[in-house]
Amino acid sequence: MTIAFVHGVPETADIWTALRGHMSEETVTISPPGFGAPVPDGFGCTTDDYLAWMIEEVAALPGPVDLIGHDWGGLHTLRLAMARPDLIRCWISDVVGLLDPAYKWHDLAQSWQTPEMGEQVVGMMAAAPAKVKAAQLVGASMPEETALAVAEMMNENMAKAILPLYRSAAQPRMAELGEDLSKVGTMPGLAIVAEKDAYTGGDELALRAAARAGAEVARLPGLGHWWMCQEPKKGAELIEAFLAKVRS
């Protein structure tokens, strides 16, 4: 049995450290190439490349596997659940609303998806001092210790991974990826809705997509994109309560 956490962009597995410390069972993290892990030769960093990578990673874990994803890690989780439901027992994601047809990428994502502008933006990110990047993350609700660890890895390696990933998921591609969302209803799923998350499309899209996915919904009032850092104990309790129901 494995409880696995996967993070998103521009992040590292450090975002899960505090929450995992409150879990009563052993857990593991999976770091996507470019985001705290090396990029293998020939790896294209598109959403389809990450799906293939996730399938290999999860298939190698002792089962049954309970998969928890945040941000792009939440999208990788949902894509795996749609493509290979045999590999996991249940899923948890905080970005299910991104697979609603009406989802519109946030401003930063759209800048990354824009030729030339994207190169300039990620170049500035990679070149900025770690303290500057950490301060920006702290301003978005990430604790300083976590932000400093993440900022150290917001480098050229990460910058090169961001552009192909986001460009491979520019609309209407995201809407197309969500067409099979109902397939994940064959297993237990939990859609986490952090009500102050400005990047995931808002309540309406999240609830609509969660209904299509046949998922339970857990609301986190007052919490934002990095809810697992803001209230790690609450996040761990929420996850463990859901897993207990799955196992019963």
Kindly report, residue by residue over 159-198, the tens digit of the pLDDT.
999 999 999 999 999 999 999 999 999 999 999 999 999 9
pLDDT in tens, 7-43: 999 999 999 999 999 999 999 999 999 999 999 999 9
Per residue, the 3-state secondary structure of the chain, as one string, reads: CEEEEECCCCCCHHHHHHHHHCCCCCCEEECCECCCECCCCCCCCCHHHHHHHHHHHHHCCCCCEEEEECCHHHHHHHHHHHHCHHHCCEEEECCHHHHCCCCCCCHHHHHHHCCCHHHHHHHHHHHCCHHHHHHHHHHCCCCHHHHHHHHCCCCHHHHHHHHHHHHCCCCCHHHHHHHHHHHHHHCCEEEEEECCCCCCCCHHHHHHHHHHHCCEEEEECCCCCCHHHHCHHHHHHHHHHHHHHHHC
pTM: 0.97
Q: How confident is the model at residue 121 (pLDDT cuts 50, 70, 90)?
A: very high
Which pLDDT score, from 0 to 100, does residue 46 have? 98
- 59 versus 139: which is more confidently predicted? 59
Asked if the model's pLDDT at residue 140 lies above 90, the reply is: no
What's the pLDDT score for residue 2?
A: 98
